[in-house]
Structure 1
Amino acid sequence: MTVIAVSDIHGSMTVMKHVREMQAKHPDAFTIYLGDYFDGHEHSAQVMRMIMKQVADKKAIAVLGNHDAMFQEYMKDNANQALWFMNGGDATVQHMIKFATGKEIDPASDEARHDMFDNFNDIFEFVSKLPTIAVYGRMLYIHAGLDLGTANPISDTKVIDRLWIREDYIYRTDRSEAIFAHNPLDYTIVTGHTPTGLIAGRFDNSPVDVKEKFPHCPILKIQYEGEEPRYFIDGGVHSALPENQGNIAVFDEETGELVDSLQTRP
């Protein structure tokens, strides 16, 4: 079966338009959303409701991202409000409340939090039930990555690392240089979280640097001979730059290979 994968939508209806285009092109494909539905652009609520509908119709599954977890924590207990607001949550609260009520509001006010509960409890309940890993065929989908230095990266990686890990997933931890890590699993791993234009490194025993120049954030494939590949698909949408319109990846779940895509270009 063909699988459509998209990560780090960050409230962008442009990205969702691209998803719909790819779904129309591959009508029998299943869609997997890799997290970070909130923050960056102004349509977080609309993006969430579209994804919720596809999941309810059993046409998609969604996993949790770090921005979604920050929204969840805010809705549970605003003691963690500062972290979310530092990452764009203040603007998201303003946009969501304006979408629901038409009001302009101070996102840090008690009234704003009450309005969020009154209008978006369904989204909160949906996000609260999201898994952090999805395995589909020979593919493993996770928002940020795995701690590849553990004995069993799937079971031993902490939840916070599944949502936030970067360097310890991308690179070897036993080297001071930026050398890409090996994939010890029998799964092709697909992640978002880190815009690919910010990833730069080398393979073992290679003098050639692999890098893109941000804001160019195409799909990046890292693979050593004899191992399953790792795909990084974050198109840098959280930057809100007009050139960062997201990456839509289409995989063959049986081979783990990328068979089609719509990618961010400079």
Structure 2
Amino acid sequence: MAVDDFKLTKEKDWQVFQNITAKHEEYFENMRKNLDKASKVERFIYDIIGDYLWDINGSVCEDPDFQLGYYWDGKFSDYAEELQEQINNAKYVIINLFVKYLRNKSEINDLTLTEIDDESLWLWNGGKTTLRSFFSHKKRTRRELRDLLKNSSYYSFYKLAPIMLVTPHYIFLHAGVLSVANFNDPKIYEEYRRNYYTAYLNGFNGFRLWAREEYFFDKEGRYFAHNQTGKTIVTGHTSTCFVSGHFDDGRKLDSTPKSYCVVRKIQYDS
């Protein structure tokens, strides 16, 4: 269960956190340095390790209190042990990535070295499984499935769909918006990015596609934000089992088991 208001406050815990994240980053970066980026198989492994390092290390170091409380249920020791275990079993990481390459060899070898970077992120995030779910009855390669998708009604609908759909009573989008009256003004997102150094949100489109706690909570990150848009906001992106926090009226919303991601409503009485 996610832990609200988790804080990594003990000096010895901070020291362990800094040591293990630095050790983990250095270990896997040294592995990357020994890979030949002119080789397609090694470039593929190099890029996936880079994506992995951001997920498990970079994003946590950027906001440790939130990340450790949200994704590791406030169990800092579990996170530290996981990083050490991954260092101890690094050879299996390489073996598993090589197997993943072999399973997609013909498709990856058709790509340029630059394209492999996008392909590795796509595979790391389960893209092939998603793609196959559209055409589960067809035994095709990823490239063939991709071509099928591009000529399907799914893709036509996707290309026509806006990032955000605003109706008289609802706002539909992937991640979220700033809960203010002028939520549709790109300028306020650029200002937010500058003031709060959320470079990864990358302005208006980035916020609407990738925001999590920036959308759910007020600017101080203490309470769920009051929705001042005048509309009901319907979003996805963040697994609902992870959503937890405090309302400024004293109420609390707890997270749920990770196997129980249901539609959840975050709402003030007025």
Q: TM-score, normalised by structure 1?
A: 0.45
Query: Could you say which structure has the larger radius of gyration?
Result: 2
Q: Which has the higher strand share?
A: 1
Instruction: Give the helix-richer structure, 1 or 2.
Output: 2
- The two structures have a TM-score, normalised by structure 2, of 0.44
